[in-house]
Amino acid sequence: MINNKGTLDFFSVLVVGDNPEQQMLAFDDMLEVEPYILYKHSDIKKLRLKKIELYNEYIRQIDDFRQISYINDKINELKQISDEEYFHLLSEPYYYDQEGNIISNENPNGRWLTCEKGGRIYSEKLKNTNNQSVVSDLKCNINWGEIHLNEKTTSMYKRTWELCVENETPVSPNDETILRNMSPYSKLKYFNSFKYKEEYINYNSSFFTNAIVINGDWFDIENKNYIDWVINFKNMFIDKQIKDNDLITIFECTK
């Protein structure tokens, strides 16, 4: 995620298996490793164009005009410099080898700057079968019906869509509260991100984390369709790849 406000981006990670803290250490951004080639000089013509392509792809996935404006400025800057100038910018934190390649000893698998089990924001994402908030438990001990497509939650978002998109007449104080909480910007922009009502409801009612570690492999939302990731997360990972007796642990990280 691109952040131009000077603040850290918080995100959630679900780690599957024993020794979750040890598993997360492999993805520490500050972990030093043996020097390796980060960018080849022979790729110099591709690197700047690839960066522009990534920025353009990101713009297609967001509707925040401030971020779009910021990224467009970055794209224009990239278009105005040469391949050599961009390669030099990439090299600033690193050093060159004899062939002109950029060398690094930073962790190529680095994903986080800070990492905390549970954390302040995500510590209540998991609920056990006693409906208590937990940060770590066996998959079979999690109350998935409470945290994923909960009937009360889906009903609320269903009604929100009906009022804001289908323009149904409010008939209760709760309806009036929903309308007050939805700004004109939300009505015009937010709902347009969804193809249909069920997608909107499922997106807002599904359990997901921004990343997941399974068998030591890291999978995350970056460069993926955000809505698809959220809606399909449980089926894709929890249901198909995690056994009932597997330990799952939630972490809060920054990058």
Residue 85 in this model has a pLDDT that exceeds 60: yes
Q: Is residue 27 situated within a structural domain?
A: no
Q: Is residue 233 situated within a structural domain?
A: yes
Task: Give residue 92's pLDDT.
Answer: 86
Domain endpoint, select from 54, 87, 106: 106
The DSSP secondary-structure symbol of 141 reads G
Q: Are strands 10-16 and 211-214 parallel, antiparallel or unpaired?
A: parallel
Same structural domain for residues 187 and 172?
yes
Task: Give residue 230's pLDDT.
Answer: 96
pLDDT band at 177 (very low <50, low <70, confident <90, very high): very high
Q: Once rounded to an integer, what is the mean pLDDT over residues 73-85? A: 93
Same structural domain for residues 242 and 152?
yes
Residue 233 in this model has a pLDDT that exceeds 80: yes
Q: Once rounded to an integer, what is the mean pLDDT over residues 178-189? A: 72
The CA-based dihedral angle spanning residues 238, 241, 246, 249, taken in that order and rounded to the nearest 10 degrees: -50
Q: Is residue 211 situated within a structural domain?
A: yes
Same structural domain for residues 72 and 119?
no
Domain endpoint, select from 57, 83, 106: 106
Q: How many angstroms separate the CA atoms of 141 and 144, rounded? A: 9
Same structural domain for residues 48 and 97?
yes
Q: What is the mean pLDDT of the chain?
A: 90
Enter the pTM of the model: 0.76
Residue 135 in this model has a pLDDT that exceeds 50: yes
User: What is the per-residue pLDDT across 30-73, written as a single tens digit (0 to 9) for each?
Assistant: 998 899 999 999 999 999 999 999 998 888 877 677 888 899 99
Other beta carbons less than 10 A from residue 241's beta carbon: 13
What whole-number percentage of the chain has pLDDT above 90? 74
Task: Give residue 124's pLDDT.
Answer: 86
Least confident of 59-63, 90-94, 119-123: 59-63
List the end-to-end C-alpha distance of the chain, in Å, as a whole number. Answer: 9
Q: Is residue 46 situated within a structural domain?
A: yes
Task: Give residue 5's pLDDT.
Answer: 34
Domain endpoint, select from 106, 137, 160: 106
Q: Is residue 9 situated within a structural domain?
A: no
- State the maximum Cα–Cα separation within the chain, in Å, rounded to a whole number: 74
Q: How many angstroms separate the CA atoms of 51 and 87, rounded? A: 11
Residue 1 in this model has a pLDDT that exceeds 90: no
Task: Give residue 183's pLDDT.
Answer: 66
> Measured on CA atoms in the order 230, 131, 254, 211, is the torsion positive or negative?
negative
Task: Give residue 6's pLDDT.
Answer: 36
Q: From the CA atom positions of the chain, what is the Rg in Å?
A: 22
Number of structural domains (the chain) is 2
Same structural domain for residues 48 and 100?
yes
Q: Is residue 224 situated within a structural domain?
A: yes
pLDDT band at 187 (very low <50, low <70, confident <90, very high): low
Q: Once rounded to an integer, what is the mean pLDDT over residues 11-19? A: 97
Structure tokens at 164: 């804001």
Residue 132 structural domain:
113-254
